[in-house]
Each structure stands twice: as C-alpha cells, then as structure tokens.
Amino acid sequence: MQKTLLQQAQEFGLSEAEYGRVLEILGREPNLVELGIFSVMWSEHCSYKSSRIHLKKLPTDGPQVIQGPGENAGVVDIGEGWGVAFKMESHNHPSFIEPYQGAATGVGGILRDVFTMGARPIANLNSLRFGAAEHPKTPFLVHGVVAGIAGYGNCMGIPTVGGEVFFDASFNGNILVNAMTVGLVRKDGIFKGLAEGVGNPVMYVGSKTGRDGIHGATMASGEFDEKSEEKRPTVQVGDPFTEKLLLEACLEVMAQDVLVGIQDMGAAGLTSSSFEMASRSGSGIEMDLDKIPVREEGMTPYEMMLSESQERMLLVAKRGCEDKVVATFKKWDLDAVVVGRVTDDGWMRLKKDGKVVAELPIAPLTDAAPLYDRPQRPADLKSRQALDWNSLSWPKDPGETLLKLLGSPNLCSRRWVYRQYDHMVMTNTVILPGGDAALLRVKGLKKGVAVTADCNSRYCYLDPRLGAQHAVAEAARNIACTGARPLAVTDCLNFGNPEKPEIMWEFAQAVQGMGEACRALGTPIVSGNVSLYNDTNGVSIFPTPTIGMVGLMEDVSKHVTAWFKRAGDAVFLLGELAGGLGASEYLSFIHGKTAGEPPLLDLAREKALQDFLLRLIDQGLIRSAHDVSDGGLALALAEACLADPAGAAGVELSLAPGLEGRSLAELLFGEGASRVLVSVAPEQAATLEQLAAAAAQPLTRLGQVRPGAFKLGPYLDLPMDRLRRVWEDGFEKLLKRN
C-alpha cells in the first residue's frame, strides 16, 4: 500500500500538527525532498524546539563576549587582538551504536565548528558518561569511544588536554560523548556563516557526498530501543586526514580576503548549512545539485540534501574570487566547486537535471520552526533523596575505605584514557591532563588559557537546579586552581525525553541553576548544544548539563599545579572543613546508595573563594592548589600526592582524635562546595593565615607535606605506594571486570 505523505512525515519524525504547518507554509503538498528537509530542520536536534524557550533565559552577554550563541561557536576576548572560540557538542546516540566512529566524528564535527570561525583549534576536551562498570557492554564502549577520540584528535594534531569520565547504571543504554574544541582567532579575522551579496558564488569544499548519515539528526531526536542498533548506517564515518587538509586549506583561504561566509556541514549536512547561512543573512540560495561532488552514482536530491558525510564545508565567496578559492583547496588536494549563487528572494531553490526539485521559503523553515513550551511536572526529589541514615553500617577502617574509593570506577586515575590522547602536540600544554583544569600557553603572548569540562550527574539527578549550579561552580574552581580567571562557558545539555513532563522540568531547573551560577560567577554562556531523548526503553539518563569553561591567565608563568611540592610545605584547606555525605561518591560506591541532598552552594561565597585563591596565586604565595570535590577531603589529599609526576609527594595531617562512624566519614569523604586544598612554603604559612583572616575566608591548617607517607591524624596511615597501586590500576581493572 502506498504511504500517505502524512505517514511519511511521521516516519521522518514530524508530528501531525507539524505536518499541517508544512502544508500551511507551502500552500501545497511537499515533495519527498522538501519533506525530508522540513523534517531534519524541524528535528529536535536542529531546531531546539523544546529547549529554545528556556535557553533564552541564560546570560550570554559580558564585556568579554565577542560572539554569543547562534554562530558555529562562541568567541571571547583575551586581549591584544586575540579571541578564543569554543564550543561543546554531543555525539551520544551515534557513539552508543558505533563507539569508534561515533566518537571520532563527534570530535571532527566540533573541530569544524571552531575552525569555521577562522580559529585555529588549540585544544580538545571531552566529557564521557558510561553505564555501570559491571555492565557487559561498558568495556567495549569505553575502548571504542576513547580510541575514536584519540584516532581523530591525534591525527589532526590537536591536543586532547582534559575532560571527565563517569560511570553510572543510568547510562547503561545511552552513553554520553560530549566533545569540546577551543581555538585561537584574531579578533579581526572572525568568520561567520553568512550568505550575503546577490550573485556571490556558493561553494562546496571538502570530501565528496556519500549516502552515510542520512537522517542522523532525526535519529538523535528520538528514543532508543532494542532496534536502535539497526540504525548503524545513520552513523557517519570520519576521515581525520581529510579534515586536517580542510583545516589548513580553510585557514589559508580565510587569510586571502575572498570569503563572505563559511559554515560546517554538520548535522543535516547541506540542508542545515545552506538554510542557516541564508537565514542569517535574510537572503536566498539557488543550488544546482548536479554540481555536488558525490561519492556514489545515482544519488538522489533527497540523499544529497540529507547526507551527513563528514569533512565538508559550504562557503560563500566574493564574486570573481572563485579561482583563488579553488587554487588554495587544490594545493591541499581538496575539491572546491561552485554549486550555486546567493539570491535575494528569501527562497531555497534546488535544481537537478535542469529541473527544480525543491523550492522552499527560508524564513518559515528556520525562524518559524516549531517552538514548544512543553508541560513540566516537578520530579519527586524527596523520594529520590530519601535515605534512612540509621540503616547504614559505617566502615570501621577508613584506610580500607580510602583504598576502595581510590580504585573505584569514578575516582581512579584516568591515565589509561589520556595516555591514548596526544596531549602535548602544538607544544602549548603547560598543565597536562590529570590536574584540575588544563592550561595552554598562547605563543607570542605572555597569556595562558585554562580549559575544563565538568558536571556531577548524580548531583543533577538528586537536585537538577543545585546540581547545575555545582557544575558551573566546580568548572570555575578548577580553572581558578591553575591561576586563571574564569571567563565564559559552553554547555552541552544532555537530558531524557522532553515529552515527559518530569524530564522537561529537570531541564528547566538545570537551565535555571546554570543561569544563576553563570551570573554569579561572571561567566556568560557563549555557545552550546542540547541533546534530548537520551532514553532507552523508557529509562532516562541522569540529567547532565555538562559545563565547558575557558579561563584566562595574564601571566602564564605564575600558574600553579595540583600536587604537593616540597617536604615540609604547610597544607591548608581553604573553605569549610565539614562536608556532607548526601549525593556523595562515598555513599554511592561504599554504600550503594544514590540518595541524599547535594551539598549546599552559596554562589557569593564561591565567587569570594575563587577571587581570594586567584589573588594568592597572582602573588606567588602558594605552591599547589587542588579542588576538593568527588570523594571529599581524603581523595583530594590523595590526588594532590598522586598527581606528582616525580611520584614523591606524601602528606601528614594532624587531626583531632575522637571521630567515628558518620562524623569521621563526613570529615574524610564528605563533599562540599567552595573548598580548595593549598600548600605553601612553611615560612609563608603565617602570611596565608593573615590574608585569609583579613578576607574573612575560612582556612584550616591541616598538616604538612611528607614524601612517601599518607597519614591522616589518628585515623589512617598508609604507605603512598599502596595508594598509588590501586589508583593507577583501577581503570584497567574495571575494563577487565567482565
């Protein structure tokens, strides 16, 4: 039986009401090509139809902002004529289906978003979420995703300098792969996705178009079930070598004053790039699909417009400059072909074999895309958080507990991961992965750029608004721990099915929390991405608003690192000593409970702490600074020893005796906001205490650096090499568990 157009539209992911709108806009029935274009442009992935209404509430302005959301990437000012362009994007669904290529093309896509702006990428980061370590699929996914990120980034010669990996059963059927790229751009050399100037040539550059990835954006806009693996053909295949050539060719052509605009062909390929460019400029485009370089014979207009083949760009050149563009791309052995012209009638007109195969008005498709204020219903946080504390039996030996935590999936060393990423290429990496934030020097300037990606998904599940605030605060704290001032944010909002009112509420709450924290810390959001429908068989992931943050250090030589430096240095905790066990890693791993309330967070205090820390670092007073987060004080102390590349550091604390059970667990493993572990030369200890008192900053002297030892008062005394062994072996062990 012949499918009706409505049935076809629904198969493409459009609702009946949305299809009605298509008819209204066109005043006629669409053909298949047009219907395909509508469906991808109006997919959640491309149109942000469920999220836009909330995203509008985020702070996006500030004196440092050169380019806010809406372009391929955001740009912030770092002074002396330079800007930093950055963005984060998800590639969750493809990475679950085909981990290597899914992750690799995620990296490729975000790199293009950044170099499209005219920026040379200087760093990659990623934020990964996998299912429980015990889940049979987890090792396979970890191996594939890490190898895919490595395979793409390493070949491009862009260092992968930071990120995070988190395991939880809520991601068993839906992993998260969020990739972030940071680039450097001359302020006067920023390019945008514009299609201006009637008659200017529209050019296609890069790889040829194949049949891969058709309807990838639609796939990313629906829930998963057992049949999702059948969607493997919608995952694209990456070629980092071609992308490297594309990068060099694009930067070279951008230096020649021949371009009007340029845009990556990412999700929804040629369709979204052409529509978005024309839409931004209020123009139209006419393309001749016979000119599109294709990989296979007999490709239909539908396939050409919806293909998500990688490593392609669409650009609009100045009329008469076509030959220069072609010559530059030819130098790099790449295709550059004129495929159309800019018009001024506001229509997209596609021709093939001399016939018009699609004719669509641009503004209704982009600006008038569906916009939903989806119903929300508060999730029952009280029942999520509920826990009978009296039912817990408190471990007797804190040393054993520490060793268990150090070897646990979420706290063990990530070296197995970042060792596979080239993190030193480009010779800018001043602080390597494994610390709080990575720090890159900017060649030719005294400045440094700090970068990090953070989110505690468990906090966000137990309290989405507070959890999102924590994500921003922790990212900023990580940046501040290097000595850099937090500058701006890119976000990647990973949530479940927005058609479920509780998920929509989680989303709205998280956006509110992020906005509050970003306002309080002075870090506007300049770019981002939303990934919804992260559900498999009706189970939603923990809400995960990943925060990517960039910070600026005026004099990079003043940076500090996380590890303790010299025997006898005084160790202090900046912030409150007491932590809470609610929502903690300790509660989750040792007691098997995801419950309790995340720690309180006072954003004004957080800001004051970071400002104070930055002052200390600027004055050259402290020798190390390390954020106290997952796993609490004991873990932070262990990390400040274990991170020492010389493998020598150790610590000895003098703690008051008498604590046990819950109160001891709170001291050692409790989590709390606004806390940083610092060390100073012993002769500077008094100065630090005076400065803290004057600034009304809570400060506790904990003890001193003692190589080889790990002694926490009367409670715990272990040789450092025992800690090191479990911490270093943890990751490989978890992969071998199955």
The reply on whether position 241 binds another protein by CB under 8 A is: yes
The reply on whether position 735 binds another protein by CB under 8 A is: no
Q: How many CA atoms lie within 13 A of 186 on its CB side?
A: 6
Q: What is the DSSP letter of 543?
A: P
The reply on whether position 621 binds another protein by CB under 8 A is: no
Of 122, 139, 29, the closest CA to residue 83 belongs to 122
Candidate segments 195-203, 267-275, 316-324, 426-434, binder of another protein by CB under 8 A: 426-434
Candidate segments 21-29, 226-234, 343-351, 420-428, binder of another protein by CB under 8 A: 420-428
CB nearer to another protein: give 333 or 683: 333
The reply on whether position 537 binds another protein by CB under 8 A is: no
Q: Report whether 437 contacts 551 (CB < 8 A).
A: yes
The reply on whether position 661 binds another protein by CB under 8 A is: no
The reply on whether position 295 binds another protein by CB under 8 A is: no
CB nearer to another protein: give 246 or 268: 246
CB nearer to another protein: give 311 or 597: 311
Candidate segments 98-106, 311-319, 341-349, 413-421, binder of another protein by CB under 8 A: 413-421
Q: What is the spatial distance between Cα 657 and Cα 713, in angstroms, rounded to a whole number? A: 7
How far the first Cα of the chain sits from its last, in Å, is 48
Q: What is the spatial distance between Cα 352 and Cα 290, in angstroms, rounded to a whole number? A: 6
- Select from 367, 443, 615, 721 the one that contacts another protein (CB under 8 A): 443
Q: What is the spatial distance between Cα 398 and Cα 583, in angstroms, rounded to a whole number? A: 19
Please give the structure tokens belonging to residue 667. Answer: 């001291």
- Helix 240-254 / helix 99-115 crossing angle, nearest 10 deg: 0
Q: What is the spatial distance between Cα 451 and Cα 180, in angstroms, rounded to a whole number? A: 10
**Cβ of residue 362: shortest distance to another protein, in angstroms?**
37
- Helix 720-736 / helix 138-156 crossing angle, nearest 10 deg: 100
The reply on whether position 182 binds another protein by CB under 8 A is: no
Binding mask 333-372 for another protein (x = CB under 8 A): x---------------------------------------
Q: What is the DSSP letter of 600?
A: P
The reply on whether position 438 binds another protein by CB under 8 A is: no
The reply on whether position 251 binds another protein by CB under 8 A is: no
**Cβ of residue 423: shortest distance to another protein, in angstroms?**
6
Is 45 in the active site?
yes
Q: Report whether 457 contacts 168 (CB < 8 A).
A: yes
- Select from 418, 459, 533, 572 the one that contacts another protein (CB under 8 A): 418
The reply on whether position 423 binds another protein by CB under 8 A is: yes
Is 215 in the active site?
no
Q: Report whether 88 contacts 453 (CB < 8 A).
A: yes
CA 582 to chain centre: 26
The reply on whether position 729 binds another protein by CB under 8 A is: no
Please give the structure tokens belonging to residue 149. Answer: 């990120």
Q: What is the spatial distance between Cα 270 and Cα 315, in angstroms, rounded to a whole number? A: 11
Q: How many CA atoms lie within 13 A of 444 on its CB side?
A: 6
The reply on whether position 208 binds another protein by CB under 8 A is: no
CB nearer to another protein: give 647 or 713: 647
Please give the structure tokens belonging to residue 402. Answer: 């520490």
Size of the site for another protein (CB under 8 A): 33
Give the start-end residues of each E strand in 386-432: 429-431
- From the list 45, 93, 470, 626, the catalytic residue is 45
CA 128 to chain centre: 9
Around Cβ 522, how many Cβ atoms within 10 Å? Answer: 17
**Cβ of residue 245: shortest distance to another protein, in angstroms?**
6
The reply on whether position 712 binds another protein by CB under 8 A is: no
Q: What is the spatial distance between Cα 212 and Cα 225, in angstroms, rounded to a whole number? A: 21
The reply on whether position 708 binds another protein by CB under 8 A is: no
The reply on whether position 242 binds another protein by CB under 8 A is: yes
**Cβ of residue 492: shortest distance to another protein, in angstroms?**
25
The reply on whether position 67 binds another protein by CB under 8 A is: no
The reply on whether position 644 binds another protein by CB under 8 A is: no
Q: What is the spatial distance between Cα 261 and Cα 284, in angstroms, rounded to a whole number? A: 14
604 three-class SS: helix
Candidate segments 427-435, 517-525, 589-597, 666-674, binder of another protein by CB under 8 A: 427-435
Please give the structure tokens belonging to residue 57. Answer: 């509430």
- Select from 98, 239, 569, 639 the one that contacts another protein (CB under 8 A): 239
Cβ-Cβ contacts under 8 Å for 419 (sequence gap 6 or more): none
- Select from 70, 79, 81, 157 the one that contacts another protein (CB under 8 A): 157
- From the list 54, 91, 135, 626, the catalytic residue is 91
Q: What is the DSSP string of 98-117?
A: SHHHHHHHHHHHHHHHHHTT
Q: What is the phi/psi pair of residue 87, to 5°?
A: -165, 155
- Select from 425, 621, 685, 691 the one that contacts another protein (CB under 8 A): 425
The reply on whether position 103 binds another protein by CB under 8 A is: no
CB nearer to another protein: give 385 or 420: 420
Q: What is the phi/psi pair of residue 165, to 5°?
A: -135, 130
| Burial call 79-102: b when 16+ CB within 10 Å, e when fewer | eeebbbbbbbbbbbbbbbbbbbbb
Of 220, 200, 217, 303, the closest CA to residue 260 belongs to 200
Candidate segments 38-46, 190-198, 242-250, 567-575, binder of another protein by CB under 8 A: 242-250
- Select from 300, 385, 420, 700 the one that contacts another protein (CB under 8 A): 420
Binding mask 374-403 for another protein (x = CB under 8 A): ------------------------------
CB nearer to another protein: give 242 or 452: 242
- Select from 86, 171, 275, 332 the one that contacts another protein (CB under 8 A): 332
**Which residues does the annotation mark as catalytic?**
45, 91
- Residues of this chain that bind another protein (CB under 8 A): 147, 150-151, 154-157, 239-242, 244-245, 331-333, 418-427, 429-430, 441, 443, 556-557, 645
